[in-house]
Structures are given as structure tokens and as C-alpha cells.
Amino acid sequence: MVIVAPLSVEFVLVAAGVSLLMIGAVATLMSGNVIKRLAGLLVCGAGAIASLAALGAGDGALIIGVALLFVYAVLGVALVVRLQEGYGAIEAPEIDAADADNDTQERVS
Amino acid sequence: MTPEIALFCVLGAPVLQALLVMLVPKPPGLRDLIHIGFSLFAAICAAYLVVAVYHHETAYIVLARPLPNVDLAFEIDPLGSMMAAVLTGLGVLHAVHAAGVARAKQERAPSRLLAFIALAMAGVTAVAFSANLFSLFVAYQALALAAFPLVAHRGDDEARPAARAFLATLLASSIGLFLPAMIWTYAISGTLDFRVGGVLAGRVDALTANVLLVLYVMGIAMAAIPPMHRWLPASSFGPFPALVTIQALAVLPAGGIGVLKVVTFVFGPGMAEAALAAQLLIVLVGVGMIVAALIALSKQDIRERLAYSCMAQSLAVVMGALLSLQPGQFAPAGLFAAALQIIALSCAAATLLMAAGTTAAITGRTKVSDYAGLGRVMPWTFAGFAIASASMIGMPPFAGAWAKLWLITAAAGSGLVWAAGLAAAAAILTFTHLGPLAASALAARAPTDAFKRPDGASILLAAPVILAAAATLSLLVSANALAEFLAPIWTGSAAP
Amino acid sequence: MSAAYVDLARAHAPLLMIMAPLIGAVLMLVTGTARVSWLVACAVAAAGAYVAMDFAAIVFGGYPQPIAEVGVSLFVDGVGVFAAALIAVAAAFVVSAVGASLKDAGDAASPLALSLMLCIAVGWIGALMARDLIAMIAAVETAWLASTGLVMLNSQRDRAALNGALRMLSWGGVGAAFMLVGAGLVARATGSFAIDVLPLAHIRMPNVAAAGAALIVIGLAVKGGVAPLHAWIAAALGRLGTTYALAIGALGVLGALSVLTRFSAYAIAAPEIGGSISAALAVLGSASVIIGSVQAVGARNLLRLTAYAGASQAGCVLLSVALGSPAGFAAALMQLVAFVAAALALYGGAAAGRVQSLEMLDGYGQRAPLASAAITVGALSLMGAPLTIGFLARWRLVEAGVGAGWWWAAGLVVIASLAGVFYGGRLVERMYFRRANIAYAGDGGVWRVALGPVLIVAIVAIAVGLAPSVLLNAAAKASLMLTGLAA
């Protein structure tokens, strides 16, 4: 019983972290809105860091994880701003449609 | 000159020829001189190699070693040297004729045309002299790539899809079928080298042998076996010099040589394990010959008619090679029939296509119905046309007759009398699509408005046709000597 | 005296291979003008390539050199040395090719672009030398984020690059998260983050370790453009243009596949999890070959066609690794060489004329002979035409596969080659047998020659298929050196 209990807590924490990761991943890859994608990415990253922590990874690993998450967040915000400036939209379908139009126009010309 | 140097020259001279022709497009006289001169040099080297083989000399050159047990190697042997000599010899005539046609028709990009003709000749020579399956595969692919620009030469809306079909069929079949068969052979035998008696002899069970045979035969699509024959009618959109190269001197003969080499040196004569697949393929090939001859009859454009006629003749080569896999003492007869048929096909097809090219250049006529009476105003050209037609039909004393005779002998001797029947039926149908055509050209009233060019056919256009036609008589006197010369490939003993 | 410095440099070669481009990347930020920064970048990249090639020659030439312990956790093995040398050389040529298109990015952005390219090289080389999984992931993400930044930088020329960057960020981020969790799971199961411990450790929880290794493989496969995880590649590369596609499509994908090969080699060598990792790689590789080939046949954009063909090639790499034998790993390394040669040829050839759509290739043979020759040779290599490096690499895969009884691998190679015939043949036909229907849009001026080296090298690399013994020996030795080079 004593042996099982810590394993169970660890398992639950890891499972929670992985669930967060998967939810974030789905949101990142499926959302139409770019801001939601970014949010999903941050949730995904947070889930990964949480899982790492639950698995007993050392400080080094966690610091690397947090650093990566930070960089992704910064880049993501910059990208959202640039997309708004460039396309006037932050919905992925609209952006894809605008690119497809440009592709067609180039082919015709 | 040693055999090694001659072998190197016969392979390398056409490549150098192509480069020089591209670099020296003008004046046209110099370009044509280079083209004809190098063709002659290659033919002389090939003839030298025949003599060398006759005197039991050997030559083996390795150009590259891409894999540990696999060389890109070429060697002289009776079969390869004989084929190379015939093809390069005819190539000299074709070089003269191509120069003439290019001038007469003001052909577009003549340097490019002549350069790729030379590269295609290099490819077929490499196929003939290949020392192992890998070298055969490389030469085969190189030939397909070299011949592709010939089909695409005109660059118009007809030529482009035709060229795509040409390349796609040849490369796809070689990569999809021939290459797996090659890999399988390597896995079984540990080598890709050609061996008299067959590298697979005694190493494979019946299922493996049958499957491998189908893969090889279908993979060598240059032999125009249905359904891998699409490239042949597609190629008929090229200019006439290209057609001679593709259908008479390079691509189609390379297919026959490839099948012959695979059957002889990979399977070995009389390999009973592969007999079932061989018989099924003989049925396919026999039916293909008949259908091709029938389709030829329906075609009104001379290029398409001759393409299907050549296809029927090429399938006779394959039939001969497959007959050699039947167990029994007549196995070598099948090999000999196939070898004779390649020679006969090259001579006759070259003559017919050059004659058609001369006709198109001088009169602008490419429809079969417009050929009536042209023999009266172009007697030499159509004499050659008639002789070549007789050879294709299999009428003695022309080369085709000897080839058909041995084919029927091999079929009957192997107990496959029905195969002989199929070959005979195809010969009759060949008569129907070539015989009346030749007769009408010679016998009908001469047209009054025949010539597009006021001076008629120049010597450059007429002489090669006649000389190639004369070559169709060669087997009349040389058949026995040829049999003795080629005997080592099925007996394993040294050449006489 | 100088010999002592040379020995010192050689003892620190792995570190130098990472530091040289890193220093170069920093220098870019202070050099100012575009041309000067390009020259400095070329010098630095060339130095890094020289160090890498020298190190590889020493290692595979049978003269093992002691490697200095410097407090940075480097672990140098055969695959790492081979692939790092390949990346360093490719980076040198990619950076040199940028000189032809500096006007595109403008004076302000060019140094930043060069810096990012050097960071890409640093990241992937660092990942190939990393001792532990976390360091490897950090290096991988350095390279990936630099790639994303490079794509974003191109948005000044075409806003579609932002869409590509968005997809790279999304997919790459998810991949990074997967890799982090995977590293944690592997460490939990083996007791260590160290890569070289994997084959030797007594794995108490094989399922956990296998799951972790699989997550790392997936994360790397995303970055390597392996189908069906390559949704980012079309948007990122399709409108990227000029030489940036070289950096992302050739260098970036090469790096990811190299790291994937190295990690998988260790994972497969672990007896408890090797079978399942091998099976996963085989499935993924097969899918990538088929999907990539089909997409390449249907592509109408040259850059996307090359990317999809790369996915097919990546599949062949995974199949080679999945075999789990030294012959398989050697075949994987040969596939990497074939991949980067073909990618440099095709992307470089496209960059010469700013070709994007296939229609722009019409008549290219007359307008840009060297570039067309490079594209032709690249297409032949993708077809697996004999005597090209592509044929050699595929033959090695088939040989290794048949030896292991994987006949279906030979079938997949045939499929990849057949597809190559179709899409490669299309390129050749357009370039040489159609008349140009648009004006040539390539860069003029003397700086255009900067593209020359990458095209020539690509042609030569593909022609290595004629005499490949040096490369074959190096790959064979590299595949046997998984236990690392002793310090």
C-alpha cells in the first residue's frame, strides 16, 4: 500500500499533465482563431512542463521547458500582431483563403 | 588498337560525337561530317571487335564500381559484338540519311536531333556489350533518357504527351518490374554477372523462376510486349531520323537484345522451371504479333503503320528467346532465331523508315494512299522499300525469311506447333499491310505532282536506302557462319 | 608550435563545430551591411565545415582522436560525426548561396537572416552532439525557432510567409511538448536522461520508455517533414522564395532527420523497446513514402514538390533506421546524403530564377542552363536513376531490407522511384521542351555567381554515385560507432 500510493499520485499528476498537453495540442492544431491557437500552445507547453515535474525531472529540464515556452509565447504574440497587420484577420480559414487567392492570381498572370 | 581500346571507343565515340555536333552546329557541312565520321569510326571499332571475338580475344572494361559486388562493366562476347556491328554499320547509313533529311526538310534544331541520335546509339551499344544485369539496367535507362528528346523533338502539342508516354512507360516498367527482378536475382545468386548457362540455373524453384521471367520480360518494355508497348506508337510523332533510331537501330533492338541476354545468361537455355511462364508469354507475344499486324493494316499514316509492323517483328524476337527456355535440344534454335530476327528487323525496319523518310522529305507524302505510283518516280527508294517489305514478311531470300524459318523450327522442335502457327499468321498479316503497299508504289501510275523538291531525292537520301536493303540479303550468305559464331553463347565453348 | 594548436583544435573539434557558427551568428548582429555580414558568415560557415570534415576524416580514417572534456555534456558518436559534417558543409553552401539574393531581404534584414541560418546549423549540430535528451531538445528547438524566425523574416517580401510561420510554430510547439514529455518518460524508465545509456540500461518500465521514445520520434518527425506530420511544410516553403527555402527545406529537414536517425539508433538498440520503436518507424516511414510520393506527383509548385519529395525521402530514411542493423543505419546515412544533395539541387536551381510554380520552369533550360542542369540532376536522383547518389542510397536500403526479410521495403522503394519518374520527368520536360512563357526573374549582376557553388556541389554530390567508396566506407564505419568515441 505504501509503495502503491506514491506511484498513484505520480501517475495521476502525469496523467493530468499529459491531458493538458493533449487538450492544448488539439486546440493548437484545430482552432481557427490564431489567438486560440497560441493559447492552446501555451496550455500544451504547460502540460508538458507539469508532466516533467510530475515525473521527477530535475531543475535543468524544467528550466529548459519554461524557457522554450517563453520563447514560443513571444514569437507567437509577434506572429499574431504581424498576421493582423498583414491580413487584417486572425482567423486561419480567412488567411488560408487569402493565400489561395494569391496563388491563383499568380498562376493566371 | 587492342580490344579494350576498341570497346572503349565504340562506347565513347558516340558520346563525343554528340558533344561535338552540339558544339559545332554550323556550318552544316562540318556538323554532318562529324556525325558521319564518328558513326563510321564506331562501326569500324565494332567490326574490329567481331574479328577479335572470332579470334578468341576478350575484353572487359569497368567504368565505375558503384557498389561493392557490382561493376558498371562491359565486355565483348559473340552476341553483343555481332549486334553492335550490325547496328553501328546500319548507323553509318542512317547518319548519312539523317543528314540528308535534316537538310531537305529544314528540320528544327538539327544539331540536337543528331546529337541525341548519337547518344541513343551509344545506349544500344552499351546494352549490347553489358557484362552484367546492372550495366544492362544502366544502359537501358540511359537509352530511354537519350531517346526521349527524339520523341519530344518537335515540341508541339502532339509531341509532348507522346514523349511523356514514351518516357513514363519505359522508365516505370524498368523501375517497377526490371529493377525488383534484378534485386531478387542478386538476393538469390549473390551476383549480377551474366553467365553462360544462366546465373539462376539450379538455384530457383519453379514459382520463383516463373515470376522472375515475367518481371524481366515485362520490365524490358523496349521489346514492345503488350501491354508495355504504348511507347512505340507514341514515338511515331517524332521526325523520321528519330524514328529510324527508335524503331530500327536503338530502342526496339535494345529491347530484343535485353530479353535475349536475360534469357541466355540469367535463366539459361532449356530452363524447365520457367517453362510455364515462358509458354504463357509466348501466347501473349504471339497474339500480340497478330494484333499488331492487324492494327498496322488499319493505319493510314505510314509512320504508325510501320511502328506497329516493327512491333510485330520485335515480338518475334521475344518469341524466339522464350522458345529457348523450353527443355530439349531445340533450345539453342530459339536463341539463334531471336538473334537472326534482331538483325533482320534492324535491316528491314531501317530500310523502310529511311525510305519513308526520303519520301516525306521529297514529296511531303506520309499517307499510305498517297504512295501509289511513287516507285516509278523514285525507283531506287522504292526498290529498297519493296525488298525490306519482303524481308519483314519473311519472303526468301531476304533476312527475315531465315529468322522466321528458325523460329518455326524452334517452335516445332519444342513441341509448341501452335507458336509456329501464330508466327506464320503474323507473317501473313504482315504481308497484307506491306505487300500491297509496296506493289502499289511500284506498279501504279506515276503521280504527276510527286516532288516537293524540284531536284528529287539526293544521293544522301537514296543511297542509304539501297545499301540497307542490300543488307537484308546478308543472311542469305552468312547464316551458317553466324550460327557458328554465336554458338558459344549456348554451348559455353570458345568461339570458332 | 602550429602543430600543437592544430592538435588542440582537433581535440576540441566537436565544440568548435558548434561554437564557430554560433560566434558567426552573434557577429552578424554587429557587422552592419548586408555584403559584409554575408562575407563574414561565409568565412565562419566555411571554417565550421572545414573543422567538421577534418574531424570526420580523422574519425572514419581510423585515427581516433581523444576528445577533450570541457564541462559541456557532449557525446560524439559515429552517426553524429557523419551527420554533423554533412550539416556543416550544407550550411556553408547555403550561406554562400544567400549572397545572390541579399537584395531581397534588404540591408537591415540580411544580417539577421544570416544569423538565423547559422543558428539553424548550430542547433542541429548541437543536437547531434548532445549527451542528454534535454540538451538535445534544447538544441533542436533552437534550430526550429531560428527556422521559424527566418520564415517570419521573409514576410517582408510575401505575407504568406506568416501563415507558414504560424504552422511551424503550432506544429513545432506541439512537437516540442511531446519531446519534453517523452524525455521525461524515458528518464523515468531508465533512470537517466543520457542518450547513450538507453541501450545499456535495465529498463524497468519498458512501456513507459517505449511511449517516451515514440513521443520523441514524433516530435522529431514533425520537424523533419515526415508525412503525415508535415502539414507545416507546404505553407512554410510554398511561397518562401529565393534561398530561404534552401535553409529551411534542405538544412532544416536534414538536421531533423539526422537527429531522428541518431536517437532512433539508440532507442532501437535497447532490447526492451527496440522492437516497438522499429515497428513504429517502419509504419511512419512507409506512410511517408506513399503520402509524400502521391503529393509530389500532384504538386503544382516546385518548392512544395521538392518538400513532398523530401517527405518521401524521409520515409526511406525512417525505413532504413527501422531495420535496426548496422547495414540499415549505414543506408540511412546514405539516404541523408542523397536527400541533401537533391534538395540543394532543386531548391538552389529554383532560387536561381526565383521559380515557384511549375509554369515558371518552361524554357528554363535556355534561360538558366546551370540551374536547369542542377534541377535535372536532382530529379534524376529522386527517380533513383542509376549512377546517382539517389540510386545508391535506395539500393543500400533494399539490400539491407532484403537481408532482413523486409521485401515490402523494396516495394516501397520502387513506389518512391516510380513517383520520382513522374514528377521528375515533368520538370525535365518543362525545362527543355517548352518555350518560356514568362520573363526570366533571376537576380542579375555579378552576385548571381554566389549561387554557382551550391549548384555545382549538388551536381557533383549526386554524381558521387559513380565512385562512392569513400562515402560508403564512412557510412559503414559510422553505423558501427554507436558506442561513441572515447574521451
Q: What angle (nearest 5°) sits at the alpha carbon of residue B422, between those of residues B421 and B427?
A: 95
pLDDT of res. C487: 36
Residue A62 lies in a domain: yes
pLDDT of res. A90: 82
Residue B494 lies in a domain: no
Residue B310 lies in a domain: yes
Residues of B in contact with C391 (CB under 8 A): 66
Instruction: Indicate whether A6 pLDDT > 60.
Output: no
Nearest-Cα residue of chain B relative to residue C470: B66
Query: Out of B64, B68, B187, whose CB is closest to C466?
Result: B64
Q: How many B/C residue pairs have CB atoms within 8 Å?
A: 69
Tell me the C-alpha distance between B80 and B135, whole Å.
13
pLDDT of res. B484: 81
Instruction: Indicate whether C68 pLDDT > 50.
Output: yes
Taking residues B35-47, report their average pLDDT.
Answer: 94
State which H helix or E strand residue B75 sits in: strand B70-75
Q: How many domains does chain B have?
A: 1
Q: Which residue carries 539459361 as its cell? A: B268
Instruction: Indicate whether B383 pLDDT > 60.
Output: yes
Question: Cβ–Cβ contacts within 10 Å for residue A70, how many?
Answer: 12
Q: How many domains does chain A have?
A: 1
Tell me the C-alpha distance between A20 and A41, whole Å.
10
Residue B496 lies in a domain: no
Does A68 sit within 8 Å of C138, measured CB to CB? Answer: yes
Distances (CA, A) of C405 to B181, C400, C401, C402: 16, 9, 6, 5
Residues of B in contact with C434 (CB under 8 A): 155, 160
Residue A54 lies in a domain: yes
- In the beta sheet, which residues pair with residue B193? B132
C323 phi-psi bin (left φ>0, alpha ψ -120 to 50, beta other): alpha
Tell me the C-alpha distance between C254 and C347, whole Å.
14
Distances (CA, A) of B441 to B243, B387, C391: 21, 13, 51
Does C183 sit within 8 Å of A72, measured CB to CB? Answer: no
Instruction: Indicate whether B494 pLDDT > 50.
Output: no
Peptide bond into B227 cis (omega under 30): yes
Q: Is C429 on the interface with B (CB under 8 A)?
A: yes
pLDDT of res. A105: 63
Does A21 sit within 8 Å of C181, measured CB to CB? Answer: yes
Hey, CA dihedral for C426, C432, C436, C442, is it positive or negative?
Answer: positive
CA distance C468 to chain B (A): 6
Instruction: Indicate whether C482 pLDDT > 80.
Output: no
Q: First and final CA of chain B: distance in angstroms?
A: 22
Residue A2 lies in a domain: no
Domain housing B209: 3-489
pLDDT band at residue B13 under the 50/70/90 scheme: very high
CA distance B370 to chain C (A): 32
Q: Is C392 on the interface with B (CB under 8 A)?
A: yes
CA distance B464 to chain C (A): 31
Domain housing A77: 9-108
Does B179 sit within 8 Å of C392, measured CB to CB? Answer: no
Tell me the C-alpha distance between B302 and B306, whole Å.
6
Residue A59 lies in a domain: yes
All three cell numbers of A41 = 500552445
State which H helix or E strand residue C217 sits in: helix C206-223
Residue A1 lies in a domain: no
Cα maximum dimension of chain B: 67
Select the more confidently predicted residue: C328 or C5: C328
Select the more confidently predicted residue: B131 or B154: B131
pLDDT band at residue A1 under the 50/70/90 scheme: very low
Does C181 sit within 8 Å of A68, measured CB to CB? Answer: no
Q: How large is the angle between the packed helices B417-443 and B302-323, nearest 10 degrees? A: 150
Instruction: Indicate whether B340 pLDDT > 50.
Output: yes
Instruction: Indicate whether C470 pLDDT > 80.
Output: yes
Instruction: Indicate whether C299 pLDDT > 80.
Output: yes
Does A51 sit within 8 Å of C180, measured CB to CB? Answer: yes
Instruction: Indicate whether C439 pLDDT > 80.
Output: no
Residue A72 lies in a domain: yes
Residue A3 lies in a domain: no
Touching subunits of A (3+ CB pairs, under 8 Å) are C
pLDDT of res. C438: 65
Taking residues A90-101, report their average pLDDT.
Answer: 83
Residue B261 lies in a domain: yes
Tell me the C-alpha distance between A13 and A5, whole Å.
12
Give CA torsion, residues B67, B70, B76, B82, to 10 deg.
Answer: -100
Mean pLDDT of chain B: 89
Question: Cβ–Cβ contacts within 10 Å for residue C372, how many?
Answer: 24
ipTM: 0.90
Q: Is C134 on the interface with A (CB under 8 A)?
A: yes
Distances (CA, A) of C189 to A49, A57, C194: 18, 12, 12
pLDDT digits (tens, 9 = 90+) for C371-381: 888 899 999 89
pLDDT digits (tens, 9 = 90+) for B300-335: 999 999 999 999 999 999 999 999 988 877 778 888
pLDDT digits (tens, 9 = 90+) for C96-136: 888 777 766 666 778 888 999 999 999 999 999 998 899 99
pLDDT band at residue B1 under the 50/70/90 scheme: confident
B225: DSSP letter: -
Mean pLDDT of chain C: 86
**B47 in Cβ contact with B454 (< 8 Å):** no
pLDDT of res. C460: 82
Query: Out of B72, B164, B186, whose CB is closest to C425?
Result: B164
pLDDT band at residue C64 under the 50/70/90 scheme: low
- In the beta sheet, which residues pair with residue B367? B301
Residue B495 lies in a domain: no
Taking residues B228-257, report their average pLDDT.
Answer: 92
Touching subunits of C (3+ CB pairs, under 8 Å) are A, B
The length of chain B is 496
**B378 in Cβ contact with B357 (< 8 Å):** no
pLDDT band at residue A2 under the 50/70/90 scheme: very low
pLDDT of res. B84: 95
Taking residues C371-399, report their average pLDDT.
Answer: 88
Instruction: Indicate whether C316 pLDDT > 90.
Output: yes
Taking residues B461-478, report their average pLDDT.
Answer: 83
Exposure on the CB side of residue C460, measured as CA atoms within 13 A: 6
Chain A from 12 to 71: CB within 8 A of any C CB? 17-18, 21, 24-25, 28-29, 34, 37, 41, 44-45, 47-49, 51-52, 55-57, 60-61, 64-65, 67-68, 71
**Tally of helices (H runs) and strands (E runs) in chain B:** 21, 2
pLDDT digits (tens, 9 = 90+) for C146-185: 999 999 988 877 888 888 999 999 999 999 999 999 999 9
Q: How large is the angle between the packed helices C389-403 and B179-189, nearest 10 degrees? A: 50
Which of B80-89, B325-334, C380-389, C451-460 reaches the highest mean pLDDT?
Answer: B80-89
Phi, psi of C468 (to 5 degrees): -95, 15
Select the more confidently predicted residue: B398 or B83: B83
pLDDT of res. B351: 94
Query: Out of A55, A64, A75, whose CB is closest to C137?
Result: A64
Q: Which of C241, C244, C245, C462 is nearest to C373 (CA)?
A: C462
pLDDT of res. C71: 60
Does A60 sit within 8 Å of C178, measured CB to CB? Answer: no
- In the beta sheet, which residues pair with residue C137? none
pLDDT of res. A75: 92
Q: Which of C28, C212, C30, C34 is nearest to C122 (CA)?
A: C28
Tell me the C-alpha distance between C317 and C307, whole Å.
15
